[in-house]
Amino acid sequence: MRSSISSVSATSLGVPGPNLRPAEIEVTPEVIIRRQKQQRLVLDMAGLSFAIDAAILLIYAHAGTTSYLIGSTYGLCGLLAVAGFIIISDPTIADRFGDHYLVELQSTISLSIMLVFAYIAPEVGCLFLCSIFIVYTFAAIRSNARQTIIGWTSAAIGLTVLFMLTDKPIGLPVETPLERFATLLVFILVLGRTMAVGLFRSSLQESLYRRGLELKQAYKRIEELAELDELTGSLNRRSIMHTLEEEIASARHSNMPCAVALIDLDWFKRINDRFGHPAGDEVLRAFAITMFANIRSIDKFGRYGGEEFLLILPETSDGAALRTVDRLRLIVADLDWSAISNELHVTMSAGIATLNPGDTADTILARADKLLYQAKDLGRNRVTTA
């Protein structure tokens, strides 16, 4: 019974289209948009944090601990700083800096605001000191080693000046029930904001992990494409030659035989001329599928060039190689090619060479090529061996 190739297609081989390309080196618009979204989210959280502190300061002012001017001025300064960060975080401005996320600038300005207000309103200094932790929790999301050292050094110097070079009494207001309530809010909301930033950082890490997996899969696919012939799904010439060299080395090491068959589809140019190149491509795909379906897992099959293919048969003697390749020849000759054209008939010729002492990939292929041309000269649709 003749085998059918009616279902042969590029999809059945799992061969991808030509559009897959390595990731671009330059920053893509998608990366810029993603970066802007992350920056804006961090700045929104920073603005909300300033607003929360300003609201607590107004509670302290209502309790008589500080003035209403402190709360409103602090909130205004914080929101103006965030607005400034939003303006300069635009890619046309931020990309001029080495630090696209402006970590150093944001943490330095925010630290300065906290320390200045701790100095001018020490009676509610606990709020500003606690908020410094929020500033550096935000900064830790994007800080590198140098920025971490600079940020810690800046905070250490600022706090040293505040505590050692001034006599300001840093207050923890707990005298009245309202003050105790406001101070309770300070600690509860500082903890809440710290955990919220931690959740944000975790989501970023998870996103980076997912993107890392996607990148690994993309690189793996690129490596596969670098080894495979796009049309047939078999090994490409570079890869099959590298494989041949490895198999030669392995055969010598294990003292086992190895055979190679150089295979050519008979009269393939006539097929292209008569039935068209798309039909010729389908013939190559169908031929490759047939080979894969009828060789061993240890055998290696690749496209040597055009309609020529190379089959490597490890641990195979000359006689066994001849039987194997001739069986493949009969299978190809018996295929039903009517799915492509009712008038189409395809056969193959092959030359087989076995590994000799001192052989290289070039010398064994030269013998196989010579034997292939003998098969053609003898009328094609046959296999020849030394």
| Measured distance CA(239)–CA(304) in Å, rounded | 10
* pLDDT value, residue 116: 95
- Look up the CATH number of domain 237-385: 3.30.70.270
* pLDDT tens for each residue of 17-57: 333 343 444 556 676 677 677 777 778 888 888 999 999 99
Beta bridge partners of 349: 264
Residue 1 has pLDDT above 60, yes or no: no
Residue 371 has pLDDT above 90, yes or no: yes
* pLDDT tens for each residue of 122-164: 999 999 999 998 888 888 877 888 888 988 999 999 999 999 9
* pLDDT tens for each residue of 184-218: 999 999 998 888 887 877 777 787 788 888 888 87
The mean per-residue pLDDT over the stretch 367-380 comes to 95
* Per-state percent for the chain, helix, strand, coil, to nearest 5: 65, 10, 25
Domain boundaries, the chain: 29-221, 237-385
* pLDDT tens for each residue of 84-110: 888 877 766 656 666 666 778 888 899
* pLDDT value, residue 115: 94
The mean per-residue pLDDT over the stretch 342-355 comes to 95
Kindly tell me the sign of the dihedral angle through the C-alpha atoms of 184, 188, 191, 197. negative
**Tokens encoding 98:** 């080495």
| Measured distance CA(385)–CA(262) in Å, rounded | 11
Residue 72 has pLDDT above 80, yes or no: yes
Residue 223, CA distances (Å) to 18, 88, 216, 228, 280 in order: 14, 41, 10, 9, 27
* pLDDT value, residue 227: 84
Q: Percent of the chain having pLDDT more than 90?
A: 60
Residue 128: name the closest of 52, 202, 198, 179 by CA: 52
* pLDDT value, residue 151: 87
Which helix (H) or strand (E) segment holds residue 354: the answer is strand 348-354
* pLDDT value, residue 14: 39
The DSSP result for 7-44, as a single string, is: T--HHHHT---TT--PPPSSPPHHHHHHHHHHHHHHHH
Residue 11 has pLDDT above 60, yes or no: no
